[in-house]
Structure 1
Amino acid sequence: MAATDIRIDPFPVFNFRVELDGLVVASFSEVSGLTADGDAIDYREGKDPTNNVRKLQGLRKYTPLMFKRGYVQDDTLWQWYRRIADGANERRNGSVILMNEAHRDVLGWNFVNAWINKIEGPSLTATGNQVAVESMELHHEGLTIEIISTAP
């Protein structure tokens, strides 16, 4: 890949889509939690010449993914949650895909073995005029990033 093929200015955050394998759901208006983290473990052998701890890599951790969308007459996510609440081990893989201004895929955050831990209906008020929003919290076991395209 030539240096001139790499985009220098950042992509806007509003142009994305979510894919959950096997589920067809409406678009989401917000996604957060695309975070990978880990523990650092303090370690020192008794015969180390310096009196300092060494930092070793510990377990990797992944923040729950939070999804929000305007409420629609589609209960696919609620049905998935219900099956999990009833004891089914129904996990899914998925992706959050960022697109450029021409609606071409450019980056993807892929997650594995995800399941709904929490689903929340809208907050309703008789004096409001906002869109009814539902949210979903997914726990998962891995997050990777993929460069899909280098097109400007």
Structure 2
Amino acid sequence: MAAADATALGDQPPVAANFLLEVDGIAIGTFEKVQGLEVTVAVQEYAEGGVNGFVHRFPGQMSWPSLVFSRGLTKSDNLFEWMRKTAGDGFQGAGGKLERRTASVTLVDVGGTRLRSFSISDAFPIRWTGPALATADTSVLSEELEIAHHGFTSSTLA
């Protein structure tokens, strides 16, 4: 990669440690790690009779794995409010229909400038795991969130 390409998103090369999750513009929090920002295109093969040199390959369906976020605990209740709206009383209050939301994972530089955003379509939480509690454990408390979705788009903001 050329030196000019390394800083195309700003003066300093971006680092993986600076990002946040928002749902419909409401901050859910900053996370320590996110996994699953990937897309796979299935390939359909067609062997044409009389053509022995190759097999035709065509793009098929796109699929995206669930996104898994992990972090230390925060004071905000926005995560649980979003979860409540997709299950239990919140789900029943929506007429028994799942309310999918638009989420975004936004990369920020060390100065807080937003650089790139991944807009996640039709997102809803499917799993939350709280901290493991033990009297002898002095490690940092953390939680994990998994969300299902119908794909994402990416755009540069800076």
Question: Which residue of 1 is the match for residue 157 of structure 2?
Answer: 148
Question: Which residue of 2 is the match for residue 60 of structure 1?
Answer: 62
> Does the 8 Å CA contact 1:28/1:70 hold for their aligned counterparts?
yes
Question: Which residue of 2 is the match for residue 27 of structure 1?
Answer: 30
SS in 1 for 2:83: helix
- Matching residue within 11, 14, 18 for 2:14: 11
Change (3 A) 1:5 1:36: closer
RMSD after superposition: 2.5
SS in 2 for 1:49: coil
- Matching residue within 79, 84, 90 for 2:99: 90
Question: Which residue of 1 is the match for residue 93 of structure 2?
Answer: none
For residues 36-82 of structure 1, the C-alpha deviation after alignment (integer angstroms, 9 at most, x for no partner) is: 11111111233x43263211101001111111222245443234334
For structure 2, the 5+ residue unaligned runs are: 89-95
> Does the 8 Å CA contact 2:20/2:27 hold for their aligned counterparts?
no
Q: Which moved more, 1:70-79 or 1:11-20?
A: 70-79
SS in 2 for 1:25: strand
> Does the 8 Å CA contact 1:30/1:67 hold for their aligned counterparts?
yes
For structure 1, the 5+ residue unaligned runs are: none
- Count the aligned residue pairs: 146
Q: Deviation at 1:32?
A: 1.7
CA distance in 2, matches of 1:22, 1:107: 15
CA distance in 2, matches of 1:103, 1:24: 14
TM-score by length of 1: 0.81
The yes-or-no answer on 1:105 pairing with 2:114 is yes
CA distance in 1, matches of 2:74, 2:113: 26
CA distance in 2, matches of 1:52, 1:6: 38
How much identity, in percent, do the aligned residues show? 29
